[in-house]
Amino acid sequence: MMQILFEDYYLLIVNKPAGLSSESGRERHPSAEDEALLYFTGQLQEKSTSKRLKTTPYLRAVHRLDRAASGILVFAKTKTALVNLMGQFENRSVAKVYWAKVENRPPAEKGKLTNWLIKDPAGRKAVIVEKSGRDTQHCELEYTLLEKSGKEFLLEVQPATGRFHQIRAQLAHIGCPIAGDVLYGGKPWKEQQIKLHARRFTCKHPKTGELLELECMPNEGW
């Protein structure tokens, strides 16, 4: 079972391993959603008195985390919690911080990257384009160089937007592909794994409104 970082009546927050899709889908990859639902269903059968919940448990991923990445992934246990948190994402009141190990030193120790993205024709990759146009999306992130580890450089990355593959594409665009990310020019590491980790997550609890701050470290050997 995945490491559980937080759980109550409304939320289940886990540390997703690299290699698992966030949600179950048509491609039938192993998914964090399936594992979380299996755990949640077992808990309901053991502890819940609600026949309705035991028959049709509700669990939905609030956001996505790339299959090849690891880190904090949030599931909602109620529709109200899902709608509330999706609203927080839309309003950009949620804060997410990532760690990324890249293959080259960035041009500056701190930087802000602002670009336009478009998906390639196959829909598998994000491509940086020079200006806004049809089907492009604005993307923005800030990074800080934390340390050099062997031949890799550890960056802390805070995206201001949540676009498809934006961290991977934007870092590759400045000559700093993420280790293991062969799709964006990185050298192979482990199958279906890259050195991108969702390190911190901050939001307001969908029921109480209290600030919820979570952290988790990458697995050993990352």
Q: Is residue 66 among the annotated active site residues?
A: yes
Report the distance separating Cα 160 and Cα 127, nearest Å. 18
Report the distance separating Cα 29 and Cα 35, nearest Å. 12
DSSP codes of every residue in 69-119:
-EEEEEEESSHHHHHHHHHHHHTT--EEEEEEEESS--SSSEEEEEEEEEE
Q: 169: how many CB neighbours lie within 10 A of its CB? A: 23
Report the distance separating Cα 64 and Cα 28, nearest Å. 16
How far is Cα of residue 180 from the mean position of the Cα atoms in its chain?
16
Tokens in use for 36?
A: 């979380």
Single-letter amino acid code for the residue at 99: W
Q: Given 8, 34, 66, 135, which residue is catalytic?
A: 66
Among 181, 165, 45, smallest CA distance to 104 is for 181
H/E element holding 129? Answer: strand 126-129
Cβ contacts of 173 within 8 Å, gap of 6 or more: 113, 115, 128
Active site residues: 66
